[in-house]
Structure 1
Amino acid sequence: MQFPESWLREFCNPPLSTAELAETLTMAGLEVEELEPVAPPFTRIVVGEIKDAQQHPNADRLRVCQVDAGQGELLTIVCGAPNARVGIKVPCALVGAELPPGEDGKPFLIKVGKLRGVESQGMLCSARELKIAEDSGGLLELAADAPIGQDIRVYLNLDDTLFTLKLTPNLAHALSVYGVARELSALTGAPLKALDFAPVAPAHSDTLPVTISAADLCGRFSGRIVRGVNPRAATPQWMVDRLARCGQRSVAPLVDISNYVMFELGRPSHIFDLDKIHGGLDVRWGVAGEKLKLLNGNTVTVDGQVGVIADECQIESLAGIMGGDATAVTDDTKNVYIEAAFWWPKAIAGRSRRYNFSTDAGHRFERGVDPQHTVEHIERITALVQAICGGVAGPISDVQAALPAARPVTLRVARASRVIGMPLTQAQCADALGRLGLPLEQGDGTLTVTPPSYRFDITIEEDLIEEVARMVGYNQLPTTPPLAPITPKLRAESQRSSFAVRRQLAGLGYQETINFSFVDERWEHELAGNPQPIKLLNPIASQMGVMRSSLLGSLLQVLKFNLDRRADSVRVFELGRAFLRDASVLNTDTTVEGFDQPMRVAGLACGPADQLQWGRKEQSVDFFDIKGDVEALLAPLQAQFEPATHPAMHPGRCARVLLDGRAIGFIGELHPQWRQSWELPLAPVMFELELDAVLQRAVPQFKTVPKQQSVERDLAVVVAESVTYAQLVAAIASVVPVTLLRKTVLFDVYRAKPVKAGDAAPTTGLTIGEKSLAVRLTLGRDDATLTDADIDAALQAVITQVAAQTGARLRV
């Protein structure tokens, strides 16, 4: 909310500087977000009147003006403004005047000069040159009664400051200049100017029939007919200036009066063209399919959730939001109907957003407006209409359906002291609430307040505690450190933190990303294989309509974003939640299926495996590079991998990750179908694991260094292409006891090359569909040195076992 300081001081003028006043409001919860001067500094600019204006002898677009600036003699000033004419009063910069700085930041100094051979003794100014408006259509024309020679800063009240408040929704009673003044009076003790709503005597008996058909929409509807108004009258300059300094441009006098009272008293109102209303008015909920053209030119379709004001033929206004174009006042309007109503906040809240616009009226009504003073505020509007546009007023009709009842709220002084964190007496609390104008009754350690009509936000004890804290001043609250004993919760040694996982992945060259949990529904169907994703009732965007059950889609989006910007290598990871339907988890209503939200860690790599170097040929990241990263992430736990399928991964380059026999995730290359769909130049390799499993780690245990020397034996066997190294290791481990077998390492894989026609077959002993696996067995005992017989027996047992389990034969 924005308003000028001078307007606020008309209602309450404490002996504080501008900065002190802003600090006082801020420390009471009415945050002053910005202070801005109405006009930049300038000097020696006065009110001048053009007494004569002649065409410049040497220039078609210049005029030689004789200006009375109160200096005792007329000044000759050359001016090129199109509206420079005899009789108008304009700002006149005298010789020596300093105008606001230009684009270069330097002030503009007025000197005696010659323009096309004619001496100019000053300058006539536009509003844009004074930096008080953007309009540059010509000279700033002042009122005819402007005193000649008076400083323009004094005449236009330019030594003023614009206050911009950032108010929380519960401070709707301060959405007006008078509301802020009421707060300021309570804070400083300065007197508050009493409002005088002198009744306008009715000059005729005409009224407009009004029916409130929806009491849950409108609690009170007041109105008055004013006949014979002049809508072509000029809005007074003081009102135009005040509206401009509240951020509202002048439109027409009747509209300006309605806006002015809204900023002054916080009461949105509407003025109808009476002659365009058919019969009486009905305040009701809309009917599906009804349409209304609004004042902003938009045509909207309403339904049963939107309130309207309708006559016998059509709807005329969106209740509490915006009037309709059909009954808008124009220059031909002669008779008007002034309306002021109380709309229930819940009936207005959110309705503007349905039509993608917002209004000052809707902003106030959805937070709450005083329901008690509709009649008084109509008197204020009527007085201004008659003063500016003339007209004769009729009686005020006041239809009441249901008004909010004031419910007493009790404050316990002891609890207020405990919540605020400082000792308070009952007298201090009573003084704070009394200064706010809240009627109260005192008890033994309690204060009972009956909220006035404009304080509809006070409903519970905490609201009164907040009011006491605001009046005491947040800057007065003591800083007290906590006194409770703090016992750190130690993490089990067998578990690491998620931050340790992040650090380890960062150490492996990955960069962390944080993505939305809302994703495209197509991702869930295609990438995650989830036919029934959890849908959002109110998505923030059409492509973010469901909750993700996998993190891979988010990482692919990050990859696509970076590759489109010519990134050579992308390695990213994310720790985040997945959202799954889980029938075992029930909501509070046990008949409704609940949801599980496990934490996952996922990573993706694409591009070169290493940085550019001379010692190694450039090679893209492959499955085994990322498999090594996953093994390093899970170390010292030993992960197992088995062939598997995943909707997002290549059918032949995908593996399930197991830990102690339990599946914890997948690793694999992106499916060619999705690579083509995402238009990726390279196929990224991805993994996604359960975070709980990744957080586990083996507790280090002491183990002595073997005293006996180990023995290494190499074994090369030929197996079918379908036999995996894991199967071979399992066969070896099943026959050699763990006390004897220290390590098994695969160090060579060989496959026979196809033989071309006419070439002799190689003597490798391998056929197509077979491969040779060479493993190195490290054998040893802690209690004795192995003999040749022990080694030969172990090797023979291994050969026999792998032949039986995998069909392997020794390579010759």
Structure 2
Amino acid sequence: MRVPLSWLREYVDLPAGETGRDVAARLVRAGLEVETVEQLGADLKGPLVVGEVLSIEELSGFKKPIRHCFVNVGAANGTGEPQEIVCGATNFQVGDKVVVVLPGAVLPGPFPIAARQTYGHTSAGMICSARELGMGDDHNGIMVLESHLEPGTDAIELLQLVDEVLDIAVTPDRGYCLSLRGVAREAAAAYGLPLADPALLDVPPANADGYPVKVADPAGCDRFVARTVTGVDPSATSPIWLRRRLQKAGIRPVSLVVDITNYVMLEVGQPLHAYDRGRVDGPIQVRRAEPGETLTTLDGVKRQLSTEDLLICDNSGPIGLAGVMGGSTTEILDPVTDPETGLVTGSTEVIVEAAHFEPVTVARTVKRHKLPSEAAKRFERGVDPEAARAAAQRAVDLLVLIAGGTAEPGVTDIAAPHPLRTITIDADLPDRVAGTGYGRETVTRRLQEIGCSVLGSDVLEVTPPSWRPDLTDPYDLAEEVIRLEGYDNVPARMPTVPPGRGLTETQRFHRRVGLTLAGAGYVEINAYPFIGDAAFDALGLEAGDRRRRTVKLVNPLNDEEPALRTTLLPGLLGALRRNIGRGNTDLALFETGTVFLPKDELKVAPRLPVDRRPSEQELAELDAALPRQPRRVAVALAGERLPSGWWGQGAQATWADAVEAGRAVAAAAGVELTVRQAQLAPWHPGRCAELLVGDVVVGHAGELHPRVIKAMHLPERTSVMELDLDLLFEEGRRVSGPPVSAYPVATQDVALLVDAAVPAAEVEAALRDGAGELLESIRLFDVFTGEQAGEGRKSLAYTLRFRAGDRTLTADEASAARESAVAAATARTGAVLRGA
């Protein structure tokens, strides 16, 4: 919301010396987000005056039109003589009033003006366009002013070229600040000054003579005000002050009637719509769309309507999307001048609509049709339903004043009953929330400043104003008091930490996982938890895959990602792809986060109170309605794992690195993984490892399937790992340092020949079981296949480390343990000791 300071001063008598930055600081202190303060005309310097074109000589022989003009600028040039100016624009004629900048002046840019010789004539100044004056991007030609202005009049003051504009980012809960009325109320409270409310107007009561309106859906439209103005002069144009205020607020002037509706919307906060009464067929109706209906909106697009769309209709059908945009069949006609008679024709009878529409209905219509508008932006956040009558009256007054119209006595006002919302709040609640003492008088005064009516003493009965639908419970009111008193006045106190508290075992484990992977060279990312069917398709998941069963969002940020993730891989691989696209070819990324798995029985979550701690039953109902949210870790690798350099060739990342990342995470949990071959999308069927702790599958690792790599535009041999940290933690134990023995280790190597189909993990498990309690560790250090191993056979070489905690092992003990391990492997896997 762009707020010109000069306009704001009409409603709040700000101190004369207050600058835009001073006002912005006060508003920021009160909780508004003032992003910038724009200084309009800061580098502008006069003389800049109104001039009357006395003569125009068309110069020939040039590639573009050139005109040699004499312009009356009154006494502004010090002589009273006509000013000689050369100009290239052709949209003005003799007798027009224009804006003239004289030598010595400086235009925005800065662009100094001086007399100069050009096209064989002296040009002492310049006739200006709106863009050259810093009034907008319109550069269609010279700015022609109203005919009654006197030559020599100061154009800087006339056009309000010097001003300050506050650009405020209005949060969704403060929709009332999308108007000068709302921002002025905040400024008045911040300065402790009275507010001149622009909505306090004398409005005639509703009567039977108003334009006929029927509201068939009072839930979608609970207020509809209609007023009619006749005798509107189609040739009337928006006065300078009106156009300038719209321009400063960021809205382009269009035509008088449209400009007035936009002006009132900015002033009061109530969106309006104007219809050409001569083009409206019969009574106005408010209803939902019927199947198959269409509407061509003001932007010229024919739209297929949904039965959820709320419409404004007449006997011919839809004439507007309620709260979003009007239809083309009833729009105000642009004035047309007859070249022979000079008569101007256009809309002369105007119906002004000021209605209140349900916010969710408008928001869904905007999203459905991808049709944002200034009106919809306000309705989505909540508009004051009591402002409709005043806004309509204000628009009628301006049409009568500027366009010479006549207001018909008929007033249509259809209003659904609105029960008063009363909130009970302890007078000391803001004190307790902020940890300071405001006192009952301050609490009452601050609530009254925002428009609340307050009754009571120790316990207050507060009725919020109609323009604050966000105030629904006592803590909302406490927040209002605290913000108006200033967040910077809330005392800062360190909380008292109860003894014996700290990170839980689970939190420590999650930290260890992150530190372990970071220490191994992985970089952490945080991806959005949203997902769509396209991601599952890219991963090659079959239609019945359990990971396709998701929790759908009621109001997703993106229609293409309407669900919560069931795996970390899409977000991780998306980050990998973006980094590779930006030139980072050697990557090792990881992410830890929750996935969301729907329960078999769906339940609706209860709305928890904010004025007390929820009961155990309420918390249990909430927990029962939530999806399961296990925490997982995933890694993705591509490119070189070990870099190449002068020392030699590096090493490419492979499936083995992904498996090793899983082992590192398991070590952080204090458990050891068992690795065995598996098949699961999106992994390569021959390079997929299943990771187990005991008999429990905790994750998978390996190389991605080539089809997945192609679909996601990833490098060849990209490898990933995903582990369930909750399962890992359950199967783990408290991590402690490894035992340190004072006795030496006995190392034995063993090489076994087995069938090529026998998994190495199965051989390792047999060796581990057969070696007994003296075995400290076992490691596979070589895999060999070839002619020496035999057809269909492979050689697996392991290092076995034996150690006793109370003595030095003898050679016979170590050899016996080795032989026992080999015997167990032979019995279970058919292994043969190589060289035996």
* TM value normalised by structure 1: 0.86
In structure 1, the partner of 2:23 is 21
1: CA distance, partners of 2:440 / 2:810 = 94
Distance 2:623 2:12 in 1: 60
What residue is the counterpart of 1:46 in the other structure?
48
* Alignment-mate amino acid for residue 283 of structure 1: V
Question: What SS does the corresponding residue of 1:295 show, helix, strand or coil?
Answer: coil
- Which residue of structure 1 aligns with residue 284 of structure 2? 281
Give the CA deviation at 1:63.
0.5
The structure 2 residue matched to 1:504, chosen from 498, 516, 521, is 516
Q: What is the alpha-carbon distance in structure 1 between the residues aligned to residue 376 and residue 801 of structure 2? A: 80
Deviation, 1:291, is 1.8
2:405 corresponds to 1:403: no
Return the match for 2:830 from 781, 793, 807: 807
Superposed CA deviations along residues 726-771 of structure 1, whole A, max 9, x for unmatched, are 44454445555424x5555555554442xxxxxxxxxx6x542334
2:99 paired residue among 84, 91, 100: 91
User: Post-superposition shift, 1:228?
Assistant: 2.7
Question: 1:356: Cα distance to partner?
Answer: 0.9
Q: Among residues 93, 100, 107, which one is paired with 2:108 in the alignment? A: 100
Evaluate the alpha carbon distance shift between residue 535 and residue 65 of structure 1 in structure 2; reply closer, same or farther with a 3 A threshold: same
**Against the structure 1 CA distance between its residues 746 and 80, is the aligned structure 2 distance closer, same or farther, given a 3 Å change threshold?**
closer
1:447 and 2:460 are equivalent in the alignment = yes
Q: In the aligned structure 2, how far is the partner of 1:749 from the partner of 1:453?
A: 78
Which residue does 1:244 correspond to in 2? 247
Q: Which residue matches 1:305?
A: 308
Are the aligned partners of 1:528 and 1:549 in contact in 2 as well (CA < 8 Å)?
A: no
- 2:233 is matched with 230
In structure 2, distance between residues paired with 1:472 and 1:780: 71
- Aligned equivalents of 1:188, 1:792: Cα separation in 2: 90
What TM-score do you get using the length of structure 2 for normalisation? 0.84
- Contact 2:551 2:627 survives alignment (8 Å): no
Matched, 1:721 2:764: no
Give 1:265's aligned residue: 268
Report the 3-state secondary structure (helix = DSSP H, G, I; strand = E; otherwise coil) of the residue aligned with 2:681: coil
Residue 742 of structure 2: which of 705, 711, 725 is its match?
Answer: 705
Contact 2:772 2:817 in 1 (8 A): no
Do the aligned residues in 2 keep the contact of 1:220 with 1:403 (CA within 8 Å)? no
Q: 1:686 to 1:792 in 2, by over 3 A?
A: closer
Kept after mapping to 2: 8 A contact 1:750/1:771: yes
Q: 2:73 aligns to what?
A: 68
Relative to structure 1, is the Cα distance of residues 255 and 200 closer, same or farther in structure 2, using a 3 angstrom cutoff? Answer: farther
- 2:379 is matched with which residue: 362, 365, 386? 365
Distance change >3 Å, CA 682–CA 25, structure 1 → 2: closer
Q: Is the deviation greater in 416-425 or in 429-438?
A: 429-438
Q: How many residues align structurally?
A: 790
- What residue identity is the alignment partner of 2:791? I
How big is the shift at 1:683?
2.1
Cα pair 1:173 1:179 within 8 Å, conserved:
yes
AA paired with 2:100?
C
Deviates further, 336-345 or 492-501: 492-501
Residue 462 of structure 1 pairs with residue 475 of structure 2: yes
Match of 1:612 in 2: 644
Which stretch of structure 1 is more off in the superposition, 81-90 or 308-317?
81-90
Cα distance in 2 for residues equivalent to 1:378 and 1:585: 47
Q: Structure 1, unaligned stretches of length 5 or more? A: 102-106, 754-763
Please give the residue correspondences for 1:474-493 in structure 2 after superposition, counting only pairs within 5 Å.
474-475=487-488, 477-487=489-499, 489-491=501-503
Residues 315-330 of structure 1 correspond to what in structure 2 (within 5 A)? 315-330=318-333
**What is the aligned partner in structure 2 of residue 759 from structure 1?**
none
Shift in alpha-carbon separation, 1:72–1:397, aligned structure 2, 3 A: same
Q: In the alignment, does 2:583 pair up with 1:580?
A: no
Partner residue in 1 for 2:566: 549
What secondary structure does 2:253 align onto?
coil
- Which residue in 2 is equivalent to 1:114? 117
Unpaired runs of 5+ residues, structure 2, are 336-345, 606-620
1:513 counterpart residue number:
525
Gap change, CA 1:120 and 1:397, over 3 Å in 2: closer
The 3-state SS of whatever aligns with 1:642 is strand
1:348 aligns to 2:339 (yes or no)? no
Determine the C-alpha separation between the residues in 1 that align with 2:675 and 2:317.
Answer: 71
Q: Per-residue CA shift, 1:539-564, capped at 9, x if unaligned?
A: 54465344433333444444444555
In 2, Cα distance between equivalents of 1:793 and 1:320: 87
Q: 2:635 matched to which residue of 1?
A: 603
Q: Say yes or no: does 1:294 pair with 2:297.
A: yes
User: Do 1:527 and 1:553's aligned partners in 2 also have CA atoms closer than 8 Å?
Assistant: no
Q: 1:779-803: CA deviations, max 9, x gaps?
A: 6666666667667766665665554
Q: Take 1:205 and 1:719, find their aligned partners in 2: how far apart are those partners?
A: 99
**1:569-718 map, 5 Å:** 569-583=586-600, 595-613=627-645, 617-635=649-667, 637-675=671-709, 677-678=711-712, 682-692=716-726, 696=732, 698-700=735-737, 702-706=739-743, 715-718=750-753
Whether the 8 Å CA contact 1:645–1:651 is kept in 2: the answer is yes
Q: 2: distance between equivalents of 1:325 and 1:720?
A: 79
Report SS of the residue matched to 2:330. Answer: coil
Structure with the greater alpha carbon radius of gyration: 1
| Distance in structure 2 (CA, Å) of the matches to 1:94 and 1:460 | 61
Query: Contact 1:187 / 1:435 at 8 angstroms: preserved in 2?
Result: no
* 3-state secondary structure, aligned to 1:310: strand
- For the 8 Å contact 1:634–1:694, the answer to whether it is kept is yes
Map Cα deviations across residues 664-704 of structure 1 (whole Å, 9 max, x no partner): 22222333443455565522333222223556464226443
Instruction: Calculate the aligned-residue CA RMSD, in Å.
Output: 3.7
Distance in structure 2 (CA, Å) of the matches to 1:363 and 1:272: 21
Three-state SS of the structure 1 residue aligned to 2:9 is helix
Contact 1:200 1:382 in 2 (8 A): no
State whether residues 44 and 96 of structure 1, in contact with CA within 8 Å, keep that contact through their aligned partners in structure 2: yes
Q: Describe the SS at the equivalent of 2:643.
A: coil
Contact 2:101 2:127 in 1 (8 A): yes
AA aligned to 2:742 is: V
Q: Does the C-alpha gap of structure 1 residues 386 and 593 become closer, same or farther in structure 2, counting only changes over 3 Å?
A: closer
More displaced stretch, 75-84 vs 153-162: 75-84
Q: Tell me by how many angstroms 1:246 deviates.
A: 1.9
Distance of aligned partners of 1:294 and 1:109 in 2 relative to their CA distance in 1, 3 Å threshold: closer
Shift of 1:342: 3.4
Instruction: State which of 418, 432, 440 in structure 1 corresponds to 2:446.
Output: 432
Report the Cα offset of residue 253 of structure 1: 1.6
> Which residue of the other structure, out of 160, 169, 172, is the alignment partner of 1:169?
172
What is the Cα deviation at residue 421 of structure 1? 2.9
Q: Distance in 1 between matches of 2:485 and 2:749?
A: 85
Q: 2:135 maps to what in 1?
A: 132
Verify the 8 A CA contact 2:572 2:635 in the aligned structure 1.
Answer: yes
Q: Is the 8 A contact 2:85 2:123 kept in 1?
A: yes
The Cα of 1:308 is off from its aligned counterpart by 2.0
How far the C-alpha of 1:423 sits from its partner, in A, is 0.8
Q: Which piece of structure 1 moves more, 677-686 or 389-398?
A: 677-686
Q: CA deviation at 1:611?
A: 1.5
| Greater CA drift, 29-38 or 53-62 | 53-62
C-alpha distance in structure 2 between counterparts of 1:93 and 1:596, whole Å = 71
Moved more, 9-18 or 589-598: 589-598
Deviations 1:226-257 (A, max 9, x none): 33322222222221222222222222222222
Q: Which amino acid aligns with 2:3?
A: F
Distance 1:396 1:501, change over 3 A: same
